[in-house]
Amino acid sequence: MCVGYPDSPQSGIKPRLPQPAVLHRETYDLKTQDAAIAQYNATIQTFYREQKMNVTGDWAEHSVKRIAIPKGVRLREALQILGFDLRSFDNKSSSLFVM
């Protein structure tokens, strides 16, 4: 049980990407996807302003930056800990890792 008053007005619910941006059937429709992402960029900017969030750039830009540099678990190290003997890729081998 909590007693007291909220510290600030209730936050809004962050909008989701529209389905045409993420749902594809048998093929990609990049024009529809690009239009949906552009729409979402505008929607999320409005949300940021309403929530008084100091966010520069749009959703697409943030998403690219977020995945550009791998963080967290490193696959190679995790596999070595599990006992896989991995060798680095060389131009003579046709596979990336040899076990």
Q: How far apart are CA 53 and CA 14, in angstroms?
A: 12
pLDDT of residue 93: 46
- Domain residue limits, the chain: 19-71
For the chain, residues with pLDDT lower than 70 are 1, 6-9, 69-73, 88-99
pLDDT of residue 33: 92
What is the Cα 9 distance to its own chain's centre?
A: 28
Q: CB-based burial of residue 44 (10 Å sphere; 0-12 exposed, 13-18 middle, 19+ buried)?
A: buried
Which residue in the block uniquely carries the two structure tokens 């800990």? 81
Q: What is the DSSP letter of 91?
A: T
Conformation bin of residue 86: beta by default, left when phi > 0, alpha when psi is -120 to 50: beta
The DSSP element (H or E) to which 37 belongs, if any, is helix 30-50
pLDDT of residue 34: 93
